[in-house]
Amino acid sequence: MFGEIIKGLGTTLKHLFMPPVTIQYPEQKRPVRTRFKGRHELKRYDNGLERCIGCSLCAAACPADAIFVEASENTDEARYSPGERYASTYEINMLRCIFCGYCEDACPTQAIVLEHNYELSFYDRASAIYTKEMLIVDVPVNGRPTPQVVEPGVFTRSIPDMENPK
């Protein structure tokens, strides 16, 4: 019995002289792993058009039924995405989301991405529903805001090759 007490005190003394592993959280944030699935983001193309074409495959793949997508038709006077349709309403209920990443896997245009932001807090249930405006990434520097006015016949494919060649 006396040997175990000495052994426990030895462990305590050993850790007494080690540097602390505590971080000052709000000022200093720990980096996350590369496979971490955090807050959702809706991405845009380089020209400012939204990647989401309103296909609702993400909502169909979601096992928690946390995603709601309502699609509307694009016109040449008000173009939101390169396809025939765009998501006029895109909502994710973060209280239901289990951060599985199935929505990210199901998206044909890589519009929805689970990024590395882990600071999610809500004061009420209504603020836990993230709307399209909360999810969408800002317009790139060389892009324009949506909706855009385009000349007729420019977008002939539902998912055009809009990335810059690398």
Domain ranges of the chain: 34-153
- Quick one: fold of 34-153? Alpha-Beta Plaits (3.30.70)
d(CA 54, CA 56): 6
Residue type for 119, please? E
Question: Does residue 140 surpass a pLDDT of 70?
Answer: no
pLDDT of residue 165: 47
pLDDT of residue 57: 96
Query: Rounded mean pLDDT of the chain?
Result: 87
Residue type for 3, please? G
pLDDT one-digit tens code per residue, 37-93: 999 999 998 888 899 999 999 999 999 999 999 999 998 888 898 888 999 999 999
- What band does 1 get if pLDDT is binned at 50, 70 and 90? confident
Most confident of 27-36, 75-84, 133-142: 27-36
**Other CB atoms within 10 A of residue 143 CB:** 15
Cis-peptide into 147, omega within 30 deg: yes
Question: Does residue 156 surpass a pLDDT of 60?
Answer: no
Q: Which of 109, 86, 105 is nearest to 159 (CA)?
A: 109
- What band does 148 get if pLDDT is binned at 50, 70 and 90? confident
Q: What is the DSSP letter of 59?
A: H
Contact 98/64 with Cβ under 8 angstroms? yes
Q: What is the number of alpha carbons within 13 Å of residue 103 lying toward its C-beta?
A: 32
> How many percent of the chain have pLDDT more than 90?
58
pLDDT of residue 166: 45
> How many percent of the chain have pLDDT more than 70?
89
- What band does 160 get if pLDDT is binned at 50, 70 and 90? low
Q: What is the number of alpha carbons within 13 Å of residue 88 lying toward its C-beta?
A: 9
